């Protein structure tokens, strides 16, 4: 069994705009739970999904709010289809509710960085409505143990 850890982030999203948020976490592991809640603004529905590579979150050309990959080097090229790097299916967030998914999704970061594995997971988030909204996300992750 791996080491448990929690990653939590507060972020701003704009209604009607797809946002990519960089989350910290071990370079590989199992996501045991995802918790998402709107912290302020008029309550709206939203859709969320997690990806293992930066480009999958950026694939349709939408602007990113906080993720960046200026130092991507080497490694296999991004294959152009975000579904190949999807960790979760689309998750529906219902307006005014606290969302918690109990999961068992395995993942491994696929960014092409040198020389070390990265500690990133990418949240693609699309809220309804308009204007700026504050959201919070917490991931419960079981880090994978590597054999020596």
Residue 148 domain-assigned (yes or no): no
Distance between CA 28 and CA 142 in Å, rounded? Answer: 9
Number of domains in the chain: 1
Q: Look up the CATH number of the domain holding residue 125.
A: 2.60.120.380
- Cα dist. 126→48, 63, 110, 142 in Å? 6, 12, 23, 26
Q: Which domain holds residue 106?
A: 3-142
Residue 147 lies in a domain: no
Compute the mean pLDDT over every residue in the chain, rounded to the nearest whole number.
79
> Per-residue pLDDT averaged across 8-34, rounded?
88
In angstroms, rounded to a whole number, what is the distance separating the alpha carbons of residues 119 and 84? 19
Summarize pLDDT for 40-87 with one digit per residue, the tens.
988 999 999 999 888 888 634 443 434 445 445 555 667 878 888 898
**Residue 138 maps to a domain:** yes
**Per-residue confidence (pLDDT) for residue 112, from 0 to 100:** 61
In a domain, 127, yes or no: yes
Residue 125 lies in a domain: yes
The answer as to whether 100 is a domain residue is yes
Per-residue pLDDT, averaged over 92-111, amounts to 78
The mean per-residue pLDDT over the stretch 95-100 comes to 79
Instruction: Please report, rounded to a whole number, the percentage of residues in the chain having pLDDT higher than 90.
Output: 29
Q: Give the residues across from 28 on adjacent strands.
A: 108
What is the arithmetic mean of pLDDT over 110-123?
Answer: 67
Per-residue pLDDT, 49: 93
pLDDT of res. 121: 86
Please, which pLDDT band fits residue 116 given cuts at 50, 70 and 90? low
pTM metric for this prediction: 0.79
Task: Give the end-to-end CA distance of the chain in Å, rounded to a whole number.
Answer: 15
Which residues on adjacent β-strands are paired with residue 25? none
* Tokens linked to 21: 């948020």
């Amino acid at each position: 069994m791996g080491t448990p850890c929690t990653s939590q982030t507060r972020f701003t999203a704009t209604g009607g705009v797809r946002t990519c948020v960089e989350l910290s976490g071990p370079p590989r592991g199992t996501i045991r739970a995802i918790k998402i809640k709107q912290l302020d603004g008029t309550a709206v529905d939203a859709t969320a999904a997690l990806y293992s590579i930066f480009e999958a979150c950026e694939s349709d050309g939408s602007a990113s709010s906080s993720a960046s990959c200026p130092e991507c080097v080497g490694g296999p090229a991004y294959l152009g289809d975000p579904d190949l790097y999807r960790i979760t299916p689309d998750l529906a967030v219902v307006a005014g509710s606290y969302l918690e998914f109990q999961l068992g999704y395995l993942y491994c970061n696929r960014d092409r960085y040198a020389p070390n594995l990265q500690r990133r997971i990418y949240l693609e988030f699309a809220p309804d409505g308009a204007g700026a909204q504050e959201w919070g996300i917490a991931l419960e992750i079981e880090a994978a143990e590597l054999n020596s």
